[in-house]
Amino acid sequence: MQCLKSNLKKAAASVVMCLAVFMTSAVSLNVSADTVTYFSSSADDFYIDGYSDEDIEMLCAVVEREVGGLSTASKQAVTSVIVNRVNSPLFPDTVYDVLHQPNQFKTIQNYYTNERPVQVSTRIAVLYALKSGLDCADGSLYFYAPKVIDSVDKSNWFESNLEFTMEIDGQRYFK
């Protein structure tokens, strides 16, 4: 898993940057560089190419509801599944449309209701997954949690029709 084994220096720098941006709104850095460069900025200036503020907020809300209580790796993997769908010809080509597809991410309601506020750790994980450009889900387009799925038929569909790629925190990923 490239994402989990990615450059530790970049990961640490990204965490510091995200914490600083969302706690103080005064720091940013280039995550892709081998060196860490800090400069003064406001949180509004923190931009990830290709994603609007609304895209990022929707992603954070969905990831929080899907795997908010799980590890950073789970949060990054779910983010990557959504990004992989946006980039796949099998799915709509915007974050909004992927998250609003019927019977897919019912957890998008968290974006509108804020029933479960987004934790800082979730925001950091989502931003790092987006900013790094790494596919933390090994090409996966689907995932499910056997512990919470509401029918055997649904889990059988995943297991019988898709290629298993990995498991993190009890979440199973497929393409």
Structural domains in the chain, CATH included, are 8-174 (1.10.10.2520)
DSSP state letter for 6: S
**pLDDT, position 91:** 97
Within a 13 Å sphere around the CA of 78, how many CA atoms are in the beta-carbon half? 31
pLDDT of residue 38: 35
Which amino acid does the sequence have at 137?
Answer: A
> Which pTM value belongs to this model?
0.75
What pLDDT shows up at residue 67? 95
Question: Which ranges constitute the DSSP H helices of the chain?
Answer: 8-24, 53-67, 72-86, 95-99, 109-113, 120-132, 152-161
Q: How far is CA 65 from each of CA 76, 115, 117, 118, rounded to the nearest angstrom?
A: 13, 9, 9, 8
Total Cβ atoms within 10 A of residue 120? 11
pLDDT of residue 50: 87
For residue 168, what is the enclosing H or E element?
strand 164-168
3-state SS of 74-104 is: HHHHHHHHHHHHHCCCCCCCCHHHHHCCCCC
Measure the CA–CA gap between 127 and 123, rounded to whole angstroms: 6
List the chain pLDDT tens, one digit each, 175 residues.
Answer: 556 555 444 445 455 544 544 443 333 444 444 433 333 334 444 568 889 999 999 999 999 999 999 999 999 999 999 999 999 999 999 999 999 999 899 999 999 998 999 999 999 999 999 999 999 999 999 999 988 877 666 778 889 999 999 999 999 999 9
At residue 164, what are phi and psi to the nearest 5 degrees?
Answer: -65, 135
pLDDT of residue 48: 80
